[in-house]
Structure 1
Amino acid sequence: MTEGKLPTRIVHISDLHCPAKNPAQPEALIASIRDAAPDIVAVTGDLTRRAREREFVLAAALVKALPGEKLIVPGNHDVPFLTERFHRPFARFTRSVGAQPLFLETPDVLLIGLNTAIGASASAWDWSLGVAPETRVAPVAGLLAERRGNRLGIVTCHHPLRPHALDRRRSTTARGIAAFAELAAAGMRVVLHGHLHRASKTCVDGACEIAANTALSDRERGGPAGYNLIDIANGGWRALSVRWDGKRYGLGEAAEL
């Protein structure tokens, strides 16, 4: 990353799966993110375990306590299991976190949300996997092309758009590869996602996917729970992983992805 002042900082959290099994963990997460002082908090889905109303209440209170502007997209765990899945899959999510902006922007960044979760589909038997239909991707690509300018174009979604080498089944998103290519052509340079519970960075032809581990739950894969920091300055950016050590989130020991 180019040396200089860091004018934009994004905290990327995902897969909260409220309620946390460790009761001390939510306050520790809030304290660490407050210390990080982000301009924007990107929340990439799975705020709850089973989309229960009480879980959404806990998740909404936690997110409200965080500093900075927020852009929140739903995950597959934010869709109720029963009747609402078929006719109002995102109603509880919207009641809990409110209607989300299409995008957030700073002088350095254009951040746009993309919903990759589904309620139910006759063509997909595993509703936990992601979808990236043209009807959802085209408006995001249009915003990127129209508004990005010289800024870093970032798309946030719950599911990865490209298969991940360590978890190919769970990273299979319908039409994901085509969506990644379309968004990259429109000016996307970074995708922030969750779902895999793995902190990682993978790049293809100048566009990178950054995954966050679960922020709060004990369903860790490939490393401890945590969140990501993305710092943008002077035309460059870097991604750091902040990890839970059982007592705190070690902001001072953040490791580059």
Structure 2
Amino acid sequence: MTLLAHISDIHIAPLPKLHLKDLLSKRLTGYLNWKLTRSGALGGTGLQELVAHLRQQETDFIAVTGDLTNLALDTEISRAGAWLQSIGGAETVCVSPGNHDAYVKGALETAYSEWGSYISGETMETGRFPFVRRIDEVAIISCSSAIPTAPFMAIGEFDKQQADRLSRILSVLKNAGFFRTVLIHHPPNVELQHPSFGLRGHRLFRDVIAEHGAELILHGHTHRSSVHSVDGPNGEVPVIGVASASANQGSPLDDPARYNLFRIERNGTGWSCTMREYGFQRLGSEIVMRLQMRIY
């Protein structure tokens, strides 16, 4: 039996001290958005309380689907690295980066350097993504949709090169009998696409899953709890999103801070997988189990 936790959209707060040179880019619009909107929606003590609750679960692995930072400043990236160390060692935690982690050109490369083994694993050929982590019979396959974009845009991208590697990885892991869990920051399903914050290449991603299958797809980005699906070769594949781990309870923009916990074990020739969602509700100050759902 494997316990897999999913947490996302950390948006570590508060912003560090900024200098004028830091704002001579897309970061200016991001800074204004933080000051006018996001500083009231994200931050506070919820993240610390949520992580403390998560750590009590004694998980086997923690999947983080991106947006650890806000403006991808060097200081933020360094703080995010320290936060990753606080939730577990790199052998039990991995990251699929988000658009805020690639906010400007060069930022993601800095994150690769700072986060090291948290954002790496077994790969095919020379491509950094997808990479694979294996925990008993569960394989975590981390893709990347993180790219720098223009102001007011939060789109992601999944290209053909990554799709080709994902196809081969899924095929190899299926033949080896693994429960294949795919991570990507931006949701790949049709229902959550939008010109300014959707996934460029979402059809390509779904085509790969339709051909080779997967047992589970996890994403962040929307700051909402959600359950959708995409087509697989033998039926639907669950696509599950989680709310931002730093969202305040009073935010009208986001669901309150939450994480998901998956209990995965082999059941004869198939799989048993149950999801529990833990987090805050709109009212009350306690972290509670909001949902329990059998996936397989």
TM-score bracket relative to the smaller structure: 0.7 to 0.9
Match of 1:175 in 2: 201
In the alignment, what sits opposite 1:249?
287
Once the two structures are superposed, residues 68-94 of structure 1 have per-residue CA deviations (whole angstroms, 9 ceiling, x without a partner) of: 61110111111243xxx1xx3412211
The count of aligned residue pairs is: 240
Q: Please identify which structure carries the higher helix content.
A: 2
Greater Rg by CA: 2
Q: How far apart are 1:244 and its partner, in Å?
A: 2.4
User: What's the C-alpha RMSD, in Å, of the aligned pairs?
Assistant: 2.4
- Asked if residue 215 in structure 1 is aligned to residue 237 in structure 2, the reply is no
Task: Determine whether 1:95 maps to 2:117.
Answer: no
Tell me the TM-score normalised to structure 1 length. Answer: 0.83
Equivalent residue, structure 2, for 1:76: 99
Tell me the residue number matched to 1:153: 180
2:87 corresponds to 1:66 = yes
Any gaps of 5 or more consecutive residues in structure 1?
A: 1-6
Listed as ranges, the matches of 1:3-152 within 5 Å are: 7-19=1-13, 22-67=43-88, 69-81=92-104, 85=105, 88-99=106-117, 100-101=120-121, 102-120=131-149, 127-148=153-174, 149-152=176-179
Q: Contact 2:220–2:242 (CA<8 Å) still a contact in 1?
A: yes
Contact 1:43 1:72 in 2 (8 A): yes
| SS of structure 2 residue aligned to 1:65 | helix
Distance in 1, Cα, partners of 2:252 & 2:211: 33
The alignment partner of 1:77 has SS state of helix
CA 237–146 in structure 1, closer or farther in 2 if over 3 Å, else same? same
Give the structure 2 partner of residue 226 of structure 1.
258
Normalized against structure 2, the TM-score is what? 0.73
Q: How far does residue 111 in structure 1 lie from its aligned partner after superposition? A: 1.0
Asked if the contact 2:47–2:245 (Cα under 8 Å) also holds between the matched residues in 1, the reply is no
**Matched residue SS, 1:105:** strand
Gaps of 5+ in 2: 15-41, 122-130
| Partner AA of 1:197 in structure 2 | H
Q: 1:206 offset after TM fit, Å?
A: 2.0
Q: Which moved more, 1:43-52 or 1:185-194?
A: 185-194
Structure with the larger RCO, 1 or 2 (CA within 8 Å, 6+ apart): 1
- Contact residue 12 and residue 43 of structure 2 kept, 8 A: no
Separation (CA, whole Å) in 1 of partners of 2:276 and 2:153: 31
Q: How does 1:183-222 map to 2 (within 5 A)?
A: 183-204=209-230, 205-218=235-248, 221=253
* 2:274 corresponds to: 238
| CA deviation profile, 1:124-182 (whole Å, cap 9, x unmatched) | 886511211111121122111112333221110100111235x6456631121221221
Whole-angstrom CA distance in 1 between matches of 2:276 and 2:44: 25
